Every structure is written in structure tokens, then in C-alpha cells.
């Protein structure tokens, strides 16, 4: 399996392929603590625990920088000592390879704090 954190997002257009379910499960094995929520639109979700509000803000800002650099934008929920991230591809209403790439990059950012 490739190191997803070293990959770069590709342009996702309407009609781009969703990652097939069996491949989603395989890719999920390479991610630390992420889950797939299939309740509406399939999304990758993870809650990160941090030491305080300042660290939560720092992490949130680093994820925002990642989102801008990859032109792929998650839902971020910021709380004291906690940041939740949801990656999915809005245009195709589900999971694209970009979501797995950005989840891996999110973990790399968190681990570097």
C-alpha cells in the first residue's frame, strides 16, 4: 500500500469515480482511528484530542492550510482540547481518493505537533 500522506489530491469533478466500498475498507486500514460514516453521504471522520484550546486552534489552522494547498476542504469542528474533521467530496457526494489522502495528511500534521 502506498503512503497516502505523500500523495497529492487530483481535481475532483462531477462524475469522478467514488472509491468502491471494498477499496474504502482497505484504505481505511492504513489510517489511524478514522471511521467511515455512511449515514447520509459517506464521510471519513476522526476526532483528535489535544491538550488545550490554543493547541486546538493551531491544529485547526494547519488543517485549513492543508485544505487550501490541496484545494479540498473538510468540515472542521473546533472545541476546547478537541478537533473533529470530516473529509468527503462534495461534488460527487461521497468518498474520493482525495479524502483518504487528506485524512493521512491530517494524521501526519497531528503527529508533528
pLDDT in tens, 59-103: 999 999 999 999 999 999 999 999 999 999 999 999 999 999 999
Mean pLDDT of the chain: 95
- Chain centroid to CA 78: how far? 15
14 Cβ neighbours under 8 A, 6+ residues apart: 91, 92
pTM score, two decimals? Answer: 0.94
Query: Is the domain covering 20-112 a CATH 3.40.50.720 domain?
Result: no
Amino acid at each position: 500500500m502506498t503512503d497516502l500522506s505523500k500523495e497529492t489530491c487530483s481535481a475532483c469533478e462531477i462524475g469522478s469515480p467514488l472509491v468502491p466500498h471494498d477499496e474504502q475498507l482497505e484504505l481505511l486500514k492504513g489510517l489511524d482511528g478514522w471511521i467511515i460514516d455512511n449515514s447520509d453521504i459517506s464521510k471519513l471522520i476522526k476526532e483528535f484530542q489535544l491538550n488545550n484550546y490554543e493547541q486546538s486552534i493551531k491544529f485547526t489552522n494547519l488543517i485549513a492550510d492543508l485544505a487550501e494547498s490541496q484545494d479540498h476542504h473538510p468540515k472542521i469542528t473546533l472545541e476546547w482540547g478537541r478537533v473533529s474533521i470530516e473529509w468527503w467530496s462534495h461534488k460527487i457526494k461521497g468518498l474520493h481518493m482525495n479524502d483518504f489522502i487528506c485524512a493521512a495528511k491530517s494524521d501526519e500534521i497531528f503527529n508533528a505537533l
